[in-house]
Amino acid sequence: MTPERLGQHFLADASWRARILEQIAPAKEQVWLEIGAGRGEMTRELAARTGRVVAIELDARLIGKLREATAGLSVEIVEGDVLALDLAKIGGSRFCVYGSLPYYITSPILRKLFACVERIEEIDVVIQLEVAERLVARPHSRDYGWLSVLAQFYTRPEIRLRIPPGAFRPAPKVDSALVRLAPPGERARLGIADEDEFLRFAAACFAQKRKTLANNLKARFGAERIREALQAIGLGATARAEEMSVAQIAELFARLQG
Average pLDDT over residues 75-89: 94
pTM, rounded to two decimals: 0.92
Give the homologous superfamily in CATH for domain 10-185.
Answer: Vaccinia Virus protein VP39 (3.40.50.150)
Kindly report the average pLDDT of the chain as a whole number. Answer: 93
Per residue in 199-257, pLDDT tens? 999 999 999 888 899 999 999 999 899 999 999 999 999 999 999 999 999 999 999 98
pLDDT of residue 13: 86
For residue 29, give the DSSP letter: T
pLDDT band for 7, please (50, 70, 90 cuts). Answer: low
Residue 6 has pLDDT above 70, yes or no: no
Query: In the CATH hierarchy, which top-level class contains the domain 190-257?
Result: mainly alpha
Q: Domain residue spans in the chain?
A: 10-185, 190-257
pLDDT of residue 143: 96
Name residues whose C-beta falls within 8 Å of residue 247's C-beta, 6 or more positions apart in sequence.
186, 190
Q: Which segments of the chain are extended strands (E)?
A: 10-11, 31-35, 52-57, 75-79, 95-100, 120-128, 156-163, 168-169, 176-182
C-beta of residue 17 within 8 angstroms of C-beta of residue 11: yes
pLDDT of residue 45: 96
Residue 93 has pLDDT above 60, yes or no: yes
pLDDT band for 3, please (50, 70, 90 cuts). Answer: very low
Q: Provide φ and ψ at 234, rounded to 5°.
A: 85, 25
pLDDT band for 2, please (50, 70, 90 cuts). Answer: very low
